Structure 1
């Protein structure tokens, strides 16, 4: 039997034009009620042209990486809880 599940990720991007920085907050929500978050930041080099889309992309990419690491950590804890043994997942 196959099952299709849907998880949702909310992406919030805050740009600070005065600081030339972008901060991305991601929230992953599962149907079981688990919530995992990720954060990423981008800082524009003062010598580079101002292209907000690039800052958005970089901040979100870093937040996705952070979210993935946190989800792996959550999974390790869940495996340890289910098996009673320390779990280490390959990164």
Structure 2
């Protein structure tokens, strides 16, 4: 069956002093919420370029989200097959 699906990810970024925190979340079509968190800390000797902190924090949050989604998938495979699954990272 051919299908096109659309999943949306929400990205929230908070900045306080030299720290940027990103939270990303998605809701799967099955209704499962999966979230990821990432943080960036600016070195006080570096110039303040907020976009760089945003990029780094979001990249780390997306990587964290991906790992959590893989873990969720492993649990779903076990639930469907009764056998443990270990997906390649």
User: Which band: TM-score by shorter chain?
Assistant: over 0.9
TM-score, scaled relative to structure 1: 0.94
Q: CA RMSD in A?
A: 0.7
Matched with 1:50 is 48
SS in structure 2 at match of 1:2: coil
Structure 1, unmatched stretches of 5+, are none
TM-score, scaled relative to structure 2: 0.96
How many corresponding residue pairs? 89
* Equivalent of residue 21 in structure 1, options 4, 19, 29: 19
Runs of 4+ in 1 over 2 A off after TM superposition: none
Structure 2, unmatched stretches of 5+, are none
